[in-house]
């Protein structure tokens, strides 16, 4: 994956509203207490109410997508939400170019209607879902997740969607389904970089079945209360908050249930750098750079102190159990 540091910093000067360090640390402490259960129920519910009261700017650029705020563990944060303008202009979507600004500039050609998602493989009910039906399959929830990119930056984004598990239950996987593969659209007519040799298209990603069923894995249709902008993966993408951002495939057209671990686009491109699991892990460095810290887009200036990256991106209390007994250095 391309890494760029200095230029990125210059593209994202210090925002005027930076959460004061003290407030941030207090919040971190509260979240830690909540996670470890040290805080009493009263403190936990106070903190959760505070987090839920967080104002989310509605950009008003796209159709509204109604949802209710999720109160699921891990779906609420007291960290400051990244501004929409940053989340929608600093993207990785290689089908539209490799620079961070390319997707916002080029993805207007993506045609998101009509759209279908095909379900294949080891399921009792394979078939095609029209997007309109997929959207209505389960209640839409708003969930504020950290997204940590493998390149060393992060954002805090209010996504709208529902747990992927709702769709999986609906299609009834058979006993042979051990993995789930996600395939993105690869249309050379509307996606200028499909056909380039950057990656082997279509963009492909995968999860182990228990990861895919985890309540935090979100099938995502919107962000900031509106349908997804094209550059963020319209009309439907995945968000897997405890893994590096590249595990969250955009503009999904096919979901396959498999017995064998699927090959993924980044693993095919550089197996020694991008493993199948790719859980956020500050203790396992990328072969070319450290993963112990991160830069928060839109908030941290070029010279600001970086944040420490948290194990499983801070979702260890929720997902740690999925990897009990696994060597995470080997299974990176």
Binding site for ligand MTE (CB under 6 A): 91-95, 147, 149, 184, 203, 232-233, 245-246, 248-251
Closest CB to ligand MTE among 47 and 164? 164
**Other CB atoms within 10 A of residue 215 CB:** 16
Closest CB to ligand MTE among 94 and 332? 94
For residue 255, list its beta bridge partners: 119, 182
Closest CB to ligand MTE among 90 and 129? 90
The residue ranges of DSSP E strands in 185-308, in sequence order, are: 204-208, 218-223, 226-227, 237-239, 252-258, 293-296, 307-308
CB of 222 to ligand MTE, least distance (A): 12
**Other CB atoms within 10 A of residue 59 CB:** 16
Closest CB to ligand MTE among 106 and 232? 232
In angstroms, what CA-CA distances link 298 with 110, 175, 176? 26, 45, 44
Read off the DSSP letter of residue 283: T
Q: Which two tokens stand for residue 116?
A: 């279908």
Q: Give the residue closest to ligand MTE by C-beta.
A: 245
CB of 37 to ligand MTE, least distance (A): 32
CB of 93 to ligand MTE, least distance (A): 5
Closest CB to ligand MTE among 250 and 256? 250
Residue 141 contacts residue 69 (beta carbons within 8 Å): yes
CB of 271 to ligand MTE, least distance (A): 16
CB of 277 to ligand MTE, least distance (A): 15
CB of 234 to ligand MTE, least distance (A): 10
Closest CB to ligand MTE among 147 and 319? 147
Alpha helices for the chain (secondary structure H): 6-11, 21-36, 41-52, 84-87, 102-106, 131-135, 164-171, 209-213, 265-269, 316-319
């Amino acid at each position: 994956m391309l890494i760029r540091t200095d230029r990125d910093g210059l593209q994202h000067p210090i925002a005027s509203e930076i959460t004061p360090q003290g407030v941030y640390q207090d919040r971190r402490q509260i979240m830690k207490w909540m996670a470890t259960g040290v805080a009493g129920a009263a403190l936990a519910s106070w903190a959760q109410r505070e987090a839920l009261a967080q104002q989310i700017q509605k950009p008003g650029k796209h159709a509204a997508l109604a949802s209710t705020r999720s109160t699921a563990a891990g779906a609420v944060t007291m960290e400051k939400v990244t501004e929409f303008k940053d989340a929608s202009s600093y993207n990785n979507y290689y089908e539209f170019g490799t620079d961070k600004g390319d997707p916002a500039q080029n993805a207007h050609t993506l045609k998101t209607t009509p759209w279908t998602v095909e379900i294949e493989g080891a399921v009792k009910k394979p078939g095609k879902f029209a997007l309109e039906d997929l959207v209505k399959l389960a209640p839409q929830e708003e969930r504020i997740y950290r997204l940590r990119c493998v390149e060393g930056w992060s954002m805090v984004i209010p996504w709208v969607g529902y747990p992927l598990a709702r769709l999986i239950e609906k299609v009834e996987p058979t006993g042979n389904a051990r993995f789930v593969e996600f395939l993105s659209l690869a249309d050379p007519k509307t996606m200028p970089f499909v056909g380039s040799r950057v990656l082997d298209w279509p963009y492909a990603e995968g999860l182990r079945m228990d990861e895919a069923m985890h309540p935090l894995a979100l099938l995502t249709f919107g962000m900031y209360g509106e349908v997804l902008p094209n550059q963020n993966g319209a009309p439907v993408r995945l968000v897997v908050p405890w893994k590096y951002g590249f595990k969250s495939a955009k503009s999904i057209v096919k979901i396959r249930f498999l017995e064998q671990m699927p090959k993924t686009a980044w693993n095919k491109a550089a197996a020694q750098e991008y493993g199948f699991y790719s859980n956020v892990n500050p203790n396992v460095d990328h072969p070319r750079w450290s993963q112990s810290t991160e830069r928060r887009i839109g908030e941290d200036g070029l010279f600001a102190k970086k944040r420490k990256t948290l194990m499983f991106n801070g979702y260890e209390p929720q997902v740690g159990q999925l990897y009990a007994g696994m060597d995470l250095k080997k299974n990176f």
